[in-house]
Structure 1
Amino acid sequence: MSAGGISGPSSSRTRLAAGLAVLALGVAMAAAPWAFSGDGATGLSGLSSLVIALSIGPLSPWVVRSAARIVQGPATRGATQYLALSNVRLRAARVGGVLAPAVLGVTLSCTQLFANASAGAVASDQVDAGRRAGLVVTAGPSGIDRSTAEKVAETPGIRSVDQVAAGTVVVRGPADDSAWQVLPVLGADGDGLARYADLDPRGGGPLVLAPDEIALGVQGADMLYAEIGDQVTVVLGDGRTIDRRVATIYRRGLGFGEVVLPLADVRSATASGQATALVVTLSRDTTEQQGASRVAERLRDHPGVEVVRSPVVSDPEASVGDPASFQVVLLVILWGYIAIAVVSSLVVGNLARRAELTLLHAVGATPAQRQRVGRWEAAFVAVTACVVGMVAAVPGASGLVYALSNGDRAIPAIALGGLLLVVVLTSALVLGAGELSARSFRTRSPRP
């Protein structure tokens, strides 16, 4: 690389080829869920955003020049803007060194935001599509006793009442060296599960379990490397260990939980020994609002009882570590590295521009004008990093939501609040570093 950050032709071609190869690899990884299913496809799509972001490093000079050409028309109305864009094009490799880490931070942050929002959107879609229960009655950690269930069943307008129990279990797949997985579990008996929700089992038909059987969601089965007919080991909430045969794999596990067991297994492992909820089916001439009012009036002497429309049964006693906290820590560490890289690159790069400052001084540019040039360059980097980083996150997020939804959805959901936070953080970081370096444009006296 020559002075000013201009690469030679041979180095430029090699860099371009390397960047395009890494970019192609990232796109191929993002498309993995369209080619095959399983935990491997989900993992590849999740890692693809990192690979795509890393490809921006060698491709950054071309990205910088392309972005400069795009904004050249609307952003070159003044002398300082024109000069800033000219400097950016001339020093594309050095500016790319600032752009690459900022793009990496934006991409990984957006990937995390898109993944969380998309998982919630897929779960909501599955709940809406599979919901069958008219009402769900929950009672907190005390559970639902027999008298409560009988009172609900005697309420006018109620056609059927079924007990269900929710919690978490630790499950290990059929392989001896398979890892233990903590998964949400739902316990239901007979055709009560069919009245509760349609979990969309593979092969169709109702989901009914024998006492020694278990049903797994698609994602849960992938994590356990389990197929229909395999034996899995389950550790219940009270510490008991049971072996169960996989009878069914269903598609709506993200919305309703990845494990279904017979009610007796889950109920006996709760703290109260009772069901955690009642699934209420209404008669045809009773609306949900009417049914909810009647049930609530019937159970007014039962503290803690709640009547809801949502079929998702929460488990008040489940205590599972929040993986989001670990992800936040990783992002904080990442942004710390990016801050150091961006500030160092901008400050060091501008300190090396003595010849340029001398020329600007010679042609009559004032210190304030030189400072505005540095600010415009920093603004260009901030906007470009945000746009390129968001675009780089889309293929991986699309592949991930396609895998999570079992092919029902390919457009990722966007958390606008989190996205705005990423934009503000990136802009503040780059513009703040640019302001530090721009001050050298004003305070340093050029030498001939």
Structure 2
Amino acid sequence: MFRLVLQTLAQRTSGFVGAFVALFGASVLITAFGIILQSGIGDGVPVQRYADAAVVVGGEKSFSVREGDSTRTTSLDDAVGVSADLVAKAARAGGAAGAVGVLRFPAEVVDGDGRLVRGADDHRSVGVNWASAALGPFDREGRAPERAGEVALEKSVAERAGVGPGDTVRIASTRPAGDYRVVGVVAYTGGGGALRTPPVFFAEGDARALYGRGDRVSAIGVLAAEGTDAERLADRVGDALDGARVELYTSDGRSSVENPDVASARGSLKELAGSLGGTVVLITMMVVGSTLALNIHQRRRELALLRAMGATPKQIHKMIAGEALVIALIASVLGCVPGVLAAGVMRGALSVIGVLPEDFSFSYGPLPMIAAVFTGVVAAQAAAFAVARRVVAIRPVEALSESHTEEPRLGRVRVFVGVLLLVLGLAASLLPLFFGSVFAAAGAGSGGLIMVIAILVLAPPVVGRMTRVLARPFQRRFGNLGYLAVANTRADSRRLAAGIGPLVLAIGFASVQLFIPTTTSRAAEQQAAQGVVADYTLIGAAGGLPVDVPEHVRDLPGVAAAAGTVRVDLFASRKLLDSPEVFDYQAQGLSPGGLDQVVDLDVQRGDLGALSPGTVALSTGAASTLGADLGDPVRLHLPDGATVTPKVVAVYARGLGFGDVTLPHETVLRHSSRHMYDSVLVRLAEGADRDEVAGALASLDERYPGTEVLDEGGLSSAQRRTAVAGLVGSALPLVLVFGYIAVAVANTLVMTTLARGREFAMLRLVGATRKQVMRMMRTETGMLVLIAVVVGTLVPLLPLTTVSFGLTESPVPYIPPFMYLGIVAATSALAAGAVLVPTKLALRSRPVEVIGLRE
């Protein structure tokens, strides 16, 4: 049997090219996304400042919620600290030569022109305590900072600032900028290139004051005694810290604690791979399945003859499975290499838009490639089993007669599956009309994709009905050629459906994946613009604005109110069906100071002025999702993993523009890695001179270097830039998926067109010219594209409408016209090229030669 398989593949190479291309593309796609996922689990950058620490102790990077017998564990992305009391315990672990508590906070040198000075490769500096210098390979010139007002600078920062030991520098940090005396310069002597975070070393007292948390440290570095293995030391440190909410890192894992931005990037990669991974596998299996089915459909006469000659169903199954196995193995293995290249291109693109640090390295282990080959083989075998099952279900004599004609109806199982998927998709798409929660929006998006898949399953009858609708208009417009094109599509609806299916998938998938984010982003932008009632917005370049800025601004003449805002990501949880469900939200912390004068969150119930420690305000969507109302406690999991149950004091409508959870600023700052405000909103007093106040605010740059004054649209403009970056970051990985779908579209259409060589020859032998055949094919292509565009647009329109209504109370989603037209134009051009170019090539052959060729 295997010899027959190889002979079939060798003699019908052209017939298997389509399946090979589909499996090759699937391997590229799955390898690339596997590398993205693996890189999110890996380290990303080498360890530098903690290179001499054998073990680094960081805060626990996850939290668990338990309800009954069910437990849900969720990862945290914030750089949470650990209790300062653990430093002494870690130092007493067996094999430890000492332990150092690291204090990390924003700190940048200011030059004589008021500009912030960066280190080598334009890296921003970070403030740390001098004791942490023991954890890295540093050479020192001068002495260590021992008294208040003394610092030691990293060499590249000192050189760019033009200072050395004995000079005075101005440093912007978590407090108003102050002057410090440089007593030393340190040079990094380790590997990994220039320091990612060149340190500004402070004396212990100054570092503790600027860090702002007396009971915590950012991390603990444990030094190993001579001859002590790092892994063994980690076990002993773990025993010494038994019961503490910490995680231990050795080897390359230490960079996760040293570089919080890398930890955040890894979280983004995992979220990206997780959100699209299942969809990618589903699309690849659909494409591979439809391509193999089309290949078998084109060989139906050959298979029917084998059945008539006595081939058993088992033998047919083995032959088709063997063909699929050989093609899948070859195509999947070959697709791994370009998959690696595609992942590298994606890494560069994500770095350009700011999702990944420029020096973040992807992990190129063998697991993604193994997964790609395995998925390709499984998809091919599943498709082979399905098509072989249909082939052997027909009696041999019936198979011979059916091979010349199109089967009039779909199988009952296929119809049942298609209708079931369509009903499920419709039900999911309607959820936002009845529930104002995150479940509803997510369910509607999934419903749109399910309906697209349902249309693929039911494509032949859908295409048949659409063809009947278009028959008369096309016949009137194109005359005899239109009549012939309609007759062709009616006679071979499966062939036409095989070409339209991938086109519908391309347009529908793109619409769901792109237009739900654009609708959400547009609504957030509008809410932010409507909700900011402040006259000015202050933002800071030195890691934010110190927490005393609002108080200082309120003392300026002409200022009526000023409030600081800080944004973080957190989680909320509730019990559903006896199990815990966890939801991630963006939250804002607000400082007191006339909140109603600077922001209008469109409060529906309660009073935002009642916001104080132990309370929370929720958006209407979050309140619905969490089942909470005024006076109810909600369970929140803060960025450091702490669980709190504040009471709801207000419910507001503008959650998209300002975050779904609003907390007092003390709570956010105490339970996150944030030390400073993201922005400060300023409202003028009645009758105040606007220019005079603007000048006073601009003068804050002397006290708080890097401060920028924006007008009332400043916050929404900043959010717009962030939203655009987020949208581009989400859309970039879709390029790989769209590329694969485009390949599938071209692949399927080329296969169906090339299989019509005898049909074209017959038309020419009965008198049709090449031009007439080409005009007929252009007419068919126009019908094909029109059906695909209409169906591909209408199917996702329902979930887009309901999601828009659920999020914005408007049934009109935001669909950027040029983006939609670009999708349609690209898909149409691809379809036209994939049909007309092979047709033109096929017409070059002499009809009498082609008519005698076997199928």
TM beyond 0.5:
yes
CA offsets, 1:100-154, max 9 Å, x none?
A: 2210110110122211111012112322443322222222344334775465334
Instruction: Tell whether the 8 Å contact from 2:531 to 2:599 is kept in structure 1 after alignment.
Output: yes
- Aligned residue in 2 for 1:382: 785
Task: Supply the distance in 2 between the matched residues of 1:206 and 1:219 (Cα, whole angstroms).
Answer: 17
Report the CA distance shift for 1:131/1:68 in structure 2 as closer, same or farther (over 3 A). farther
Match for residue 306 of structure 1 among 705, 708, 729 = 708
What is the 5 A alignment of 1:50-65?
Answer: 50-57=449-456, 58=458, 59-65=462-468
Instruction: Report whether the alignment pairs 1:183 with 2:582.
Output: no
- Aligned residue in 1 for 2:736: 332
Q: How big is the shift at 1:339?
A: 2.7
Aligned residue pairs: how many? 434
- Aligned residue in 2 for 1:166: 566
CA offsets, 1:138-183, max 9 Å, x none?
A: 2234433477546533444322223x23121332414496455443
- Aligned residue in 2 for 1:198: 600
What is the 5 A alignment of 1:82-231?
Answer: 83-145=484-546, 148-149=549-550, 152-162=553-563, 164-175=564-575, 178=580, 180-190=582-592, 192-221=594-623, 229-231=632-634
* Residue identity in the other structure for 1:386: V
Task: Supply the distance in 2 between the matched residues of 1:326 and 1:5 (Cα, whole angstroms).
Answer: 46
Task: Supply the distance in 1 between the matched residues of 2:748 and 2:545 (Cα, whole angstroms).
Answer: 62
Instruction: Using the TM superposition, name which of 97-106 and 368-377 deviates more.
Output: 368-377
Instruction: Using the TM superposition, name which of 208-217 and 367-376 deviates more.
Output: 367-376
Q: How big is the shift at 1:358?
A: 3.7
Instruction: Tell whether the 8 Å contact from 1:5 to 1:93 is kept in structure 2 after alignment.
Output: no
Task: Supply the distance in 2 between the matched residues of 1:166 and 1:220 (Cα, whole angstroms).
Answer: 19
* Residue identity in the other structure for 1:153: R
- Aligned residue in 1 for 2:166: none
Report the CA distance shift for 1:89/1:141 in structure 2 as closer, same or farther (over 3 A). farther
Task: Supply the distance in 2 between the matched residues of 1:194 and 1:335 (Cα, whole angstroms).
Answer: 49
Report the CA distance shift for 1:231/1:26 in structure 2 as closer, same or farther (over 3 A). closer
CA offsets, 1:72-116, max 9 Å, x none?
A: 444x16x65554344334433321221122101101101222111
Report the CA distance shift for 1:429/1:87 in structure 2 as closer, same or farther (over 3 A). same
Instruction: Tell whether the 8 Å contact from 1:159 to 1:283 is kept in structure 2 after alignment.
Output: yes
Instruction: Tell whether the 8 Å contact from 2:561 to 2:593 is kept in structure 1 after alignment.
Output: no
Instruction: Tell whether the 8 Å contact from 2:539 to 2:679 is kept in structure 1 after alignment.
Output: yes
Task: Supply the distance in 2 between the matched residues of 1:265 and 1:15 (Cα, whole angstroms).
Answer: 55
Report the CA distance shift for 1:182/1:235 in structure 2 as closer, same or farther (over 3 A). same
Select the structure of larger CA radius of gyration: 2
Instruction: Tell whether the 8 Å contact from 2:572 to 2:585 is kept in structure 1 after alignment.
Output: no
Task: Supply the distance in 2 between the matched residues of 1:385 and 1:207 (Cα, whole angstroms).
Answer: 54
Instruction: Report whether the alignment pairs 1:409 with 2:813.
Output: no
Instruction: Using the TM superposition, name which of 241-250 and 258-267 deviates more.
Output: 241-250
* Residue identity in the other structure for 2:448: S
- Aligned residue in 1 for 2:678: 276
Report the CA distance shift for 1:394/1:89 in structure 2 as closer, same or farther (over 3 A). same
Match for residue 825 of structure 2 among 424, 444, 448 = 424
Report the CA distance shift for 1:390/1:141 in structure 2 as closer, same or farther (over 3 A). farther
Task: Supply the distance in 2 between the matched residues of 1:5 and 1:207 (Cα, whole angstroms).
Answer: 75
Normalising by the residue count of structure 1, what TM-score does the alignment of the two structures yield?
A: 0.82
Task: Supply the distance in 1 between the matched residues of 2:715 and 2:666 (Cα, whole angstroms).
Answer: 19
Match for residue 444 of structure 2 among 39, 42, 45 = 45
Instruction: Using the TM superposition, name which of 410-419 and 227-236 deviates more.
Output: 227-236
- Aligned residue in 2 for 1:367: 770
SS at match of 2:597: helix
Task: Supply the distance in 2 between the matched residues of 1:69 and 1:21 (Cα, whole angstroms).
Answer: 32
Structure number with higher strand proportion: 2
Q: How big is the shift at 1:214?
A: 2.2
Report the CA distance shift for 1:429/1:281 in structure 2 as closer, same or farther (over 3 A). same
- Aligned residue in 1 for 2:387: none
Match for residue 751 of structure 2 among 332, 338, 348 = 348
The share of aligned pairs that are identical, in percent, is 24
Match for residue 667 of structure 2 among 242, 265, 269 = 265
Instruction: Report whether the alignment pairs 1:255 with 2:657.
Output: yes
CA offsets, 1:312-371, max 9 Å, x none?
A: 4869xx9xx96865664356336514533x344433333443553243212322234323
Task: Supply the distance in 2 between the matched residues of 1:109 and 1:233 (Cα, whole angstroms).
Answer: 34
Report the CA distance shift for 1:401/1:146 in structure 2 as closer, same or farther (over 3 A). closer
* Residue identity in the other structure for 1:361: R
Instruction: Tell whether the 8 Å contact from 2:510 to 2:738 is kept in structure 1 after alignment.
Output: no
Task: Supply the distance in 2 between the matched residues of 1:132 and 1:143 (Cα, whole angstroms).
Answer: 21
SS at match of 1:173: strand
Task: Supply the distance in 2 between the matched residues of 1:273 and 1:92 (Cα, whole angstroms).
Answer: 64
- Aligned residue in 2 for 1:434: 835
* Residue identity in the other structure for 1:52: M
Q: How big is the shift at 1:393?
A: 1.6
Task: Supply the distance in 2 between the matched residues of 1:138 and 1:3 (Cα, whole angstroms).
Answer: 72
SS at match of 2:767: coil
Task: Supply the distance in 2 between the matched residues of 1:67 and 1:14 (Cα, whole angstroms).
Answer: 29
- Aligned residue in 1 for 2:153: none
Report the CA distance shift for 1:285/1:67 in structure 2 as closer, same or farther (over 3 A). farther
Instruction: Tell whether the 8 Å contact from 1:135 to 1:292 is kept in structure 2 after alignment.
Output: no
Task: Supply the distance in 2 between the matched residues of 1:298 and 1:416 (Cα, whole angstroms).
Answer: 44
Report the CA distance shift for 1:142/1:13 in structure 2 as closer, same or farther (over 3 A). closer
* Residue identity in the other structure for 1:329: P
Q: How big is the shift at 1:410?
A: 1.4
Instruction: Tell whether the 8 Å contact from 1:103 to 1:385 is kept in structure 2 after alignment.
Output: yes
* Residue identity in the other structure for 1:61: G
Match for residue 294 of structure 1 among 673, 687, 695 = 695
* Residue identity in the other structure for 1:310: G
Report the CA distance shift for 1:345/1:266 in structure 2 as closer, same or farther (over 3 A). closer
Instruction: Tell whether the 8 Å contact from 1:370 to 1:441 is kept in structure 2 after alignment.
Output: no
Task: Supply the distance in 1 between the matched residues of 2:547 and 2:515 (Cα, whole angstroms).
Answer: 44
Task: Supply the distance in 2 between the matched residues of 1:13 and 1:68 (Cα, whole angstroms).
Answer: 27
Report the CA distance shift for 1:223/1:330 in structure 2 as closer, same or farther (over 3 A). farther
- Aligned residue in 2 for 1:35: 434
Report the CA distance shift for 1:61/1:429 in structure 2 as closer, same or farther (over 3 A). same
Report the CA distance shift for 1:149/1:326 in structure 2 as closer, same or farther (over 3 A). closer
Q: How big is the shift at 1:395?
A: 0.6
Instruction: Tell whether the 8 Å contact from 1:196 to 1:311 is kept in structure 2 after alignment.
Output: no
